[in-house]
Amino acid sequence: MNAIYLLLVGLGTMALGYFVYSKFVAEKLYRLDPNFVTPAHELRDGIDYIPTNKFVLWGHHFTSVAGAAPIVGPAIAVFWGWLPAFLWVTIGTVFMAGVHDFGALWASVRHRGQSMGALTGKVIGHRAKSLFMIVIFLLLLMVNSAFAVVIAKLLVHDPAATIPAWGAIVVALIIGQAIYRYRMGLLWPSIIGVAVLYTLIFVGQAYPVSLPDQVMGLTPNAQWILILFAYAAIASMLPVWVLLQPRDYINGLQLFIGLGLLYAATIIAAPDVVAPMINQNLPEGTPPLVPLLFVTIACGAISGFHGLVASGTSSKQLDKETDARFVGYFGAVGEGMLALAAIICTVAGFATISEWEGVYSSFGQGSLAAFVNGGGRILADGLGISPELGGTILSVMAILFAGTTMDTGMRLQRYVIQEVGEMTSFKPLQNGYVATGVALVTCLALAFGAGGDGSGGMIIWPLFGTTNQLLAGLTLAILSVILARLGRPIVFTAIPLALLLAVTVYALLIQLGSFWSDGNWLLIGMDLIILVAALWVSVEAGLALTKRSADQPT
């Protein structure tokens, strides 16, 4: 089968989702009010709360959620065959991710920009809030630690990506000043910024940058991780308009150009899908398709991390409530488009089925390397770009989006720690610098404590997808309670909620058995904490819904 069919059906389904289904959700469920005063105006402080152009905010939101995960998850999941991955990405984006992300943004805006953790206490109870905060903290710890490792590995693997990856920060700082300090429009900063970004890719090809083999006993991988965390800690403390917004906005433009190049190359080259529709030759030890597909592909179908971004940063910058549909739902569609591109690259970027099977010899193989190499081949065949340059373009794309997710993740982790300080009346944790320091130390402790070269962030990767999906389910539970209290239908949030809780609890139990067999006590402990906390919050959410039903007049 030709990959063009996957492209057209996938994009067509997502377009219908945005133009039809999201409009229905906006009108019937969330009932957006153009006159509602958003927290960005009510609580404006010029640091976290600031009214933002919806296109700039969409760029921040989209690139914050579109890190490496919507590439890594689909690139691994095609091991079961391209059809399950394709269906989960397209259907999940339209009926689950869009409703979840849009809803989390709307709910936070309606509650003065409060995070999902704070909303849990408001709509369910303080005990549920404490448990929810545990799940949130562990997920952010996984995101920050794991993404730092992913970026470091890409920079070590492709030194040509170093200059464009770090040069993008300078470009973003200049754009932030141009837009906010000098009040320039978006057009010219956008055009010049994108042109500079792509010029830097050619500069990086000519002047690749590698770190020394050893510095104080640290490998290049470990050196990059330290540099990345130092940068993320500083970036998380800056006002959002200085770096976070412009970096995310320009990266969003860069990603869509990259996706446009990939999609155009797919149409021109018309590569055949060499991977099997359903893989019948799975080696022994391959985990079962159900439920592991639904947690292997988290970002790109539905992701709890999106709810943290929507309620943690995006809700504080929303200019008008009616912008929530574009920022929230279309942000989910953008990530679905990235996941679709990852599927096409990893199933049609190989010359033969034998070559594909050579890469996908066991579960977990392929991943980012398959995306970069497969996408580079499609770009070469379709647009005449050299495979090396095409690979660098895709490496830079993955690094920039993993980096923006890490930026936002560190900021969110600071918010969570400050909220814990408020909950416990422990004033030192309420200080932004102290909270950032705690976030930094815990991430580094995981990265270097569990892996000597800083690779420890990947130790907990098996739990990342499961925790992510559980958090999405818990967010949908909160949305369902809010909608029920407003007398609005909950079926559109309850059905995705039921599916997510079923598959993720099942996956946690399967993983618990695997961790027990391996004697991995770190993952056993984290698995049990997440499982107990999630089930407890789910029960309390169910009781809140039951109480609401009992209060309804007959």
Sign for the CA dihedral angle at 474, 472, 151, 275 comes to: positive
Average pLDDT over the chain, rounded to an integer? 88
pLDDT at position 345 is 94
Cα of first residue to Cα of last residue in the chain, in angstroms, is 56
pLDDT at position 554 is 31
Q: Tell me how far CA of residue 508 lies from CA of 116, 463, 468, in angstroms.
A: 22, 8, 12
Strand partners, 218: 215
Q: Reduce the DSSP state of residue 318 to 3 states and report it.
A: strand
C-alpha angle with apex 74: 69 to 75, nearest 5 degrees?
Answer: 95
Q: How far apart are CA 251 and CA 404, in angstroms?
A: 8
- Which of 380, 379, 391, 346 minimizes the C-alpha distance to 161? 391
pLDDT at position 142 is 83
CATH of the domain at 306: 1.20.1740
Q: Tell me the CB-side half-sphere exposure of residue 369, using CA atoms within 13 A.
A: 9
Q: For residues 272 and 311, is the Cβ–Cβ distance under 8 A?
A: no
* Neighbouring C-beta atoms of residue 424, cutoff 10 Å: 11
3-state secondary structure 371-388: HHHHHHHHHHHHHCCCHH
List the pLDDT tens digit at each of the 554 positions of the chain. Answer: 899 999 999 999 999 999 999 999 999 999 999 999 999 999 998 878 999 999 889 887 887 787 778 888 999 999 999 999 999 999 999 999 999 999 999 999 999 998 888 888 888 888 888 888 888 888 888 888 888 888 888 898 889 999 999 999 999 999 989 888 888 887 888 899 889 988 999 999 999 999 998 888 889 988 999 999 999 999 888 888 888 778 878 887 888 888 899 999 999 999 999 999 999 988 888 889 999 999 999 889 999 989 998 998 899 999 999 999 999 999 999 999 999 999 999 999 998 999 998 899 888 777 778 898 899 999 999 999 888 888 888 888 888 878 888 888 888 899 889 988 988 888 999 998 999 999 999 888 877 765 556 665 666 766 888 888 988 998 999 999 999 999 999 999 999 999 999 999 999 899 888 889 888 887 888 889 888 888 888 888 888 877 755 454 33
pLDDT at position 82 is 96
pLDDT at position 553 is 38
pLDDT at position 79 is 94
pTM comes to 0.87
Q: State the total domains in the chain.
A: 1
Domain carrying residue 467: 3-551
pLDDT at position 9 is 97
Show the tokens assigned to 546: 């039951």
